[in-house]
Amino acid sequence: VVRFAVSKTPHGKVQFRLIVADGRVVDVLPGRDGDQDATVTWAYPDAVAQFRGELDPDEAFMAGRCKVEGDYARYVFGLRPVFGSPEWSELLAGLADRSTFDGA
């Protein structure tokens, strides 16, 4: 479970938890409450770029464009296959349909 905290969105600070099992997204839960292995903090433009696959998470971390608290390996290695999957693309497309996030 990785919690994302994204600042500077059109709606202010947005937080959600991404539940992953066996390399697949099982659920996305809004808000900050609940257990997590890691918390990743992004500014909105960098979060969008990373979710689209345009920004490497390792490079972003080393450049200070994101902050990771907790299990860094769980975030980087556990989610890497997820971000390149067709399921992830579908999830972003659905999010874009329901919000101001343009993940496509």
Domain 2-98: which topology?
Nonspecific Lipid-transfer Protein; Chain A (3.30.1050)
| Residue indicated by tokens 């860094």 | 72
The pTM for the full model equals 0.79
The phi, psi pair for 82, rounded to 5°, reads: -65, -45
Q: Which pair of tokens denotes residue 83? A: 């971000």
Q: Give the model confidence (pLDDT) of 65-103 as tens digits.
A: 999 999 988 887 878 778 778 887 787 777 666 666 555
| 38-43 and 2-9 beta bridge pairing | parallel
Beta-strand (E) ranges in 10-80?
A: 12-21, 24-30, 38-43, 66-70
How many angstroms separate the CA atoms of 79 and 50, rounded? 11
Q: Give the model confidence (pLDDT) of 17-75 as tens digits.
A: 988 888 788 888 888 888 899 999 999 999 888 877 788 888 888 999 999 999 988 88
Element (H, E) at 103: none
Sign of CA dihedral 45, 48, 14, 5: negative
How many angstroms separate the CA atoms of 10 and 1, rounded? 25
How many angstroms separate the CA atoms of 80 and 60, rounded? 14
Q: Parse the chain into domains and list their residue ranges.
A: 2-98
| Residue indicated by tokens 């997820």 | 82
